[in-house]
């Protein structure tokens, strides 16, 4: 399970989602959260290349940092695209409320973390954290 201090950094700051396929890609994501089961959920509204890359191989990396404290982490894992269920319903409603019909949710991205790495600029940089 993801430690509470790491969840706090992820829940309170912007994420950068990296994928690779025919084209390397990294994008900031704001429709995101750490779920109670330890998975990560993202609402995909504008993520065309990202979704193509996930369909190609499912591999992702997510980086997040607190810009004030410098506390930073990277999660590497496997993503799946879903068009039903709780996360999809949550992000569908959030998209409607935020964009007032101007944009549609494509899907929810559910990430199963496989590795958690400290990316903070301190003596623990690059250390793997058990999840």
User: pLDDT for 67-123, tens place per residue?
Assistant: 999 999 999 999 999 999 999 999 999 999 999 989 999 999 999 999 999 999 999
Q: Which of 39, 48, 60 is nearest to 112 (CA)?
A: 39
Q: What is the CATH number of the domain that holds 11?
A: 2.30.110.10
> Is residue 131 included in any domain, yes or no?
no
Residue 56 lies in a domain: yes
Q: 6-33 pLDDT, tens per residue?
A: 999 999 999 999 999 988 999 999 999 9
First-to-last C-alpha distance (Å) of the chain = 5
43 assigned to some structural domain? yes
Domain that holds residue 59: 4-122
The two structure tokens encoding residue 78: 């496997």
Distance (Å, whole) CA 45 – CA 92: 9
Structural domain total, the chain: 1
Q: SS3 for 5?
A: helix
> Is 9 part of a structural domain of the chain?
yes
33: helix, strand or coil: strand
**Residue 127 placed within a domain:** no
């Amino acid at each position: 399970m993801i430690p509470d201090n790491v969840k706090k950094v992820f829940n309170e700051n912007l994420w950068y989602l990296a994928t690779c396929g025919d084209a390397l890609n990294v994008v900031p994501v704001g429709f995101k959260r750490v779920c109670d089961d330890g998975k990560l959920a993202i609402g995909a509204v504008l993520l065309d290349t990202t979704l193509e890359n996930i369909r190609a191989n499912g591999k992702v990396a997510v980086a997040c940092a607190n810009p004030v404290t410098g506390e930073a982490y990277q999660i590497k894992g496997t993503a799946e695209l879903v068009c039903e269920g709780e996360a999809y319903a949550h992000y569908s409603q959030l998209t409607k409320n935020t964009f007032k019909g101007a944009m549609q949710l494509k899907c929810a991205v559910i990430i199963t973390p496989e590795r958690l790495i400290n990316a903070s600029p301190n003596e623990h940089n690059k250390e793997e954290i058990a999840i």
